[in-house]
Amino acid sequence: MTTSLAQTALDNLLEEAKKAAANSYSPYSGFKVGAALRLANGTVVTGTNVENVSYGLTICAERAALVRAVSEFGPEIRIAAVAVANLNDAASPPCGACRQMLAEFAAPDTLVIFPAADGMTTMPFDQVLPLGFDMSLKKTGKIEQA
């Protein structure tokens, strides 16, 4: 499903991520990041990083976009593609926390495009997070590790 997205659609998604990066609140690091999520219904939702003087309270662009998507469209959303951009010409794949959060809503073949050391990289989500934490809710209502 998601691996068939046209390159034009990915390029447009990346442009939306760049626009979001322009709104970054990053007075401490100066590292401006934006993310754009294409949902399965075709809607694009963006987010940007928002820093805090206590770095641990900073939220990454990918998580900001995801929180916005769930807030606007509900917990049933599914992500068809993810684009990450920064205005610092630096490699910036999604961090581990963002990868794990996205895993709740992304299929293994969901495409992720992000700046890498050798330019933009596009790969399926299961390569971005090959061994993510996974739990399944059983009909018993108990949570068991899969």
The per-residue pLDDT for 1 is 40
* Torsional class of 89: left (φ above 0), alpha (ψ -120 to 50), beta (otherwise): left
Active-site hit among 62, 72, 104, 144: 62
Count how many domains the chain has: 1
CATH code of 104's domain: 3.40.140.10
The residue count for the chain = 146
CA distance 146 to 128: 20
Range of the domain at 95: 2-145
- Catalytic site residue 51? no
pLDDT tens-place string over residues 63-95: 999 999 999 999 999 999 999 999 998 988 999
Question: Which 8-state DSSP code applies to residue 23?
Answer: T
The per-residue pLDDT for 130 is 82
The per-residue pLDDT for 144 is 53
Tokens, residue 19: 């626009």
Amino acid at 85: A
pTM (2 decimals)? 0.87
Percent composition of the chain: helix, strand, coil (DSSP 3-state, to 5): 30, 30, 35
Per-residue pLDDT of the chain (146 residues; tens, 9 = 90+): 444 578 888 899 999 999 999 999 999 999 999 999 999 999 999 999 999 999 889 999 999 999 999 999 999 999 999 999 999 989 889 999 999 999 999 999 999 999 888 888 999 999 998 877 776 654 545 555 54
The per-residue pLDDT for 36 is 98
